[in-house]
């Protein structure tokens, strides 16, 4: 998947804080240990450093939600991260993103912390970020 395609899908999937630009995807993908898994309907962008994997972003076409695509991407990136030596994964999610929190919880992620007011939402109060983690050695 090209950075331009990732940016277009990210723009469709996210209202805030703001969609990422193609240049940002290009820069991230150039970093060691960073990879993307997916297609034009859904993708995940991940960084593996040492024994830790971080889900940087995951996006699904709004017209394709509830088809299991995000879960499939989660399974795929976690498998690849394990192959790269990751033993633990973490991510952050907007506290008001109930669907994503349900997905992550259902996949074994547990709340590990909170970043208060992390996401700035135009015209609204800031939204907290929930930090979630899981052990990748347990399937």
Q: Which domain holds residue 98?
A: 3-135
Query: How far is the C-alpha of 136 from the C-alpha of 18, rounded, in Å?
Result: 29
pLDDT of residue 16: 66
pLDDT of residue 13: 93
DSSP the chain: --HHHHHHHHHHH--SS-PPPHHHHHHHHTSTTEEEEEETTEEEEEEEETTEEEEEEEEE-GGGTTSSHHHHHHHHHHHHHHHTT--EEEEEEETT-HHHHHHHHHTT-EEEEEEEEEE--TTS--EEEEEEEEETT--
pLDDT of residue 138: 83
Residues involved in catalysis: 92, 104
Tens place of pLDDT per residue across the chain (139 aa): 899 999 999 999 987 678 899 999 999 999 999 999 999 999 999 999 999 999 999 999 999 999 999 999 999 999 999 999 999 999 999 999 999 999 999 999 999 999 999 988 778 899 999 999 999 998 7
Count of domains forming the chain: 1
CATH number, domain with residue 55? 3.40.630.30
């Amino acid at each position: 998947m090209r950075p331009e395609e990732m940016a277009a899908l990210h723009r469709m999937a996210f209202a805030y804080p703001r969609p990422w630009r193609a240049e940002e995807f290009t820069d991230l993908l150039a970093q060691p240990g960073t990879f993307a898994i997916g297609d034009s309907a859904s993708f995940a962008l991940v960084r593996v450093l040492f024994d830790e994997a971080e889900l940087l972003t995951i996006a699904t076409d709004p017209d394709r939600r509830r088809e299991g695509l995000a879960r499939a991407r989660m399974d795929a990136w976690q498998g690849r991260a394990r192959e790269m030596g990751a033993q633990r994964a973490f991510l952050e999610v907007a506290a008001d993103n109930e669907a994503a929190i349900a997905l992550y919880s259902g996949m074994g992620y547990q709340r590990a912390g909170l970043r208060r007011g992390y996401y700035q939402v135009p015209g609204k109060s800031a939204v907290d970020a929930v930090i979630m983690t899981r052990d990748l050695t347990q399937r």
